[in-house]
């Protein structure tokens, strides 16, 4: 078996992995290998076009995972798209840039995770960011990650924000600034109307460095351990089994699914589970794969009487506008506006987030009664329900068991029910009078608590934000410490969404980029 030697081996070229590899390679004396199971992002032209987000799912750039059938969702499994390409999920997501409420990070610090409070992390957020509005106390303008206003805002999205103000909710011009509460328009990780992924922002500018090595089509199969220390990674590239040695450290950035899966395959995890699969136990860490949680939402969709929705995407003018000016509906990733609120005044952190799409996003646009429509998506962003991830077998190429246990806690259902009711109130305002035709989902007959519960259980969907399976902390179920070192081993760290002890209450990609920056700051 061929073995090459590096200082650091980074597994996974997603949002955190691109940051880590790029930042470490800024030191010319440091040899860095970045392993990515997928291929180059430059091989897929659709990645660049924001609207094609939904068309990237279940293609070669998607791991295309599925959960177990969900008892809380009428027995339905959920599809979990995860990026399998340079840039990871930042290459296939909806590009919404939300950091999360400051109290979430302060909560991490209060759990004993020193160095993870909001004020301590804010400089790293600013360090990453190239905010097109310019720098201020909350934003940076010199970083590699472009954060932009939408180039065009659909009239339906404007009506949504106006509707919220009619109901007394404040307008919020910046969900990542002084206050998260309120309604407004989302900023996106785009540059001049094109997707700007972690590969664009961090990795591509570093590729010319002679000390950075990137291997695509290279799927890690286990962490190589010697005397309670990680010393390398075994992987398969093409038909060849290979091994890369890390003289300093191995860093797992595979995400909430792949990082715990690789730990388990390497004998790091709950001993009973490993022994049942015939895997030798290297470190008994019961928390590996546990604490899995995710955001859940459900569509409140309406037919639109005016031909102004993203349904115009099929018209030649839409393609021409994007081809020559990078404008028009193809520059929209779908969610254009949204808002944050609390369903209980006693809550310190917003627990309900809205995404508004000025087009049929129900069933990825396949379920629609006519060409033009829109959807209001209330989302549960502080879930109480917890699940787990486990191996099906010792085969590294077999997808793991993914059991998020959606709506296992009835408190989660109550938040979504409140969210659907408010979505209907928003649609009934004067702002929507010129546009709204009829309710599509749920129907006008879905009024009782029982009918609304049945609708949510049969229609709710993931917001694609799974976290928590290698959680940070010092308790018995923690997997990594505050410096992201795996407990019980030397030379091994995890840096991705899996380390979140609790989920941020918003789109997770910005926080995952932050986790990459945090790890890099600990090493460089």
Which residue numbers are catalytic?
A: 465
What tokens were used for 402? 């993914």
HEC string of 17-53 equals HHHHHHHHCCCCCCCEEEEECCECHHHCHHHHCHHHH
Residues 6+ away with beta carbon under 8 Å from 133: 139, 149
DSSP strands (E only) in 291-372: 296-297, 300-304, 337-341, 352-357
Number of residues written out for the chain: 524
- Count of CB atoms within 10 A of residue 268's CB? 28
Give the span between the Cα atoms of 157 and 160, in whole angstroms: 5
DSSP state of 279: P
- Return all residues near 52 (Cβ < 8 A) that are at least 6 apart: 46, 330
Torsion of CA 439, 443, 448, 449, to 10 degrees: -90
What is the C-alpha separation between 346 and 282, in angstroms, rounded? 45
Interior angle at CA 197, CA 194 and CA 201, nearest 5? 100
Helical pair 15-24 and 509-523, crossing angle rounded to 10 deg: 20
Bridge partner list, 35? 11, 215
What lies within 8 Å, CB to CB, of 408 at 6+ separation is 71, 72, 385, 386, 387
Give CB contacts under 8 A, 24+ apart, made by 327-331. Answer: 327/151, 327/152, 327/193, 328/152, 329/51, 329/154, 329/359, 330/49, 330/50, 330/51, 330/52, 331/50, 331/51, 331/150, 331/151, 331/152, 331/190, 331/193
DSSP per-residue letters across 137-157: SS--SSSSEEEEE-SS--HHH
Strand (E) or helix (H) holding 382:
none
- Calculated CA dihedral for residues 318, 156, 363, 84, nearest 10 degrees: 60
A 10 A CB-CB count for 450 gives: 9
List the structure tokens of 126.
């600013």
Query: What's the CA angle centered on 303, arms 301 and 305, to 5 degrees?
Result: 150
């Amino acid at each position: 078996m061929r073995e090459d030697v590096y200082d650091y081996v980074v597994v996974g070229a997603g949002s955190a992995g691109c940051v880590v590899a790029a930042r470490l390679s800024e030191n010319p004396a440091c040899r860095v290998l970045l392993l990515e199971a997928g291929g180059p992002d430059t091989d897929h032209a659709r990645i660049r076009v924001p609207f094609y987000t939904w068309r990237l799912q279940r293609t070669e750039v998607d791991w295309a995972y599925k959960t177990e059938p969900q008892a809380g969702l009428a027995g339905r499994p959920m599809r979990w798209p995860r990026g399998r390409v340079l840039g990871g999920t930042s290459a296939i997501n909806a590009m919404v840039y939300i950091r999360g409420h400051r109290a979430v990070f302060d909560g991490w610090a209060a759990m004993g995770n020193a160095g993870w409070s909001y004020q301590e992390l804010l400089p790293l957020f600013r360090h990453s960011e190239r905010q097109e509005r310019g720098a201020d106390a909350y934003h940076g303008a010199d970083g590699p990650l472009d954060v932009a206003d939408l180039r065009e805002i659909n009239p339906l999205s404007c009506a949504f924000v106006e509707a919220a103000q009619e109901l007394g909710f404040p307008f919020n011009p910046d969900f990542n600034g002084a206050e998260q509460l309120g309604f407004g328009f989302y900023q996106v990780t785009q540059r001049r109307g094109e997707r700007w992924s972690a590969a664009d922002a961090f990795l591509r500018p570093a590729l010319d460095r002679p000390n950075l090595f990137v291997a695509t089509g290279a799927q890690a199969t286990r962490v190589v351990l010697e005397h309670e220390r990680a010393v390398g990674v075994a992987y398969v590239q093409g038909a060849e089994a290979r091994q890369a040695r890390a003289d300093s450290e191995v860093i797992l950035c595979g995400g909430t699914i792949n990082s715990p899966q690789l730990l388990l395959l390497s004998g790091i995890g709950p001993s009973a589970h490993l022994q049942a699969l015939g895997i030798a136990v290297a470190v008994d860490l019961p928390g590996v794969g546990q604490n899995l949680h995710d955001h859940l939402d459900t569509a409140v969709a309406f037919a639109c009487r005016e031909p102004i929705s993203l349904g115009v995407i099929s018209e030649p003018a839409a393609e021409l506008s994007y081809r020559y000016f990078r404008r028009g509906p193809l520059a929209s990733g779908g969610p254009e506006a949204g808002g944050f609120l609390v369903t209980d005044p006693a809550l310190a952190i917003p627990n309900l987030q809205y995404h508004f799409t000025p087009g049929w996003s129900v069933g990825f646009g396949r379920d629609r009664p006519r060409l033009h429509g829109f959807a209001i998506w209330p989302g549960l962003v502080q879930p109480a329900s917890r699940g787990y991830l486990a191996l099906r077998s010792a085969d590294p190429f077999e997808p793991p068991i993914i059991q998020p246990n959606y709506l296992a806690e009835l408190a989660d259902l109550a938040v979504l029910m409140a969210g659907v009711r408010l979505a209907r109130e928003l649609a009934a305002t004067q702002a929507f009078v010129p546009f709204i035709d009829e309710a599509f989902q749920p129907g006008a007959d879905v009024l009782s608590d029982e009918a609304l519960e049945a609708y949510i259980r049969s229609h709710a969907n993931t917001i694609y934000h799974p976290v928590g399976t290698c959680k940070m902390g010092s308790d018995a179920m923690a997997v990594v410490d505050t410096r992201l070192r795996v407990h019980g081993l030397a030379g091994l760290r995890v840096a991705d969404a899996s380390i979140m002890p609790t989920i941020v209450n918003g789109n997770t990609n910005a926080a995952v980029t932050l986790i990459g920056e945090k790890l890099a700051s600990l090493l460089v």
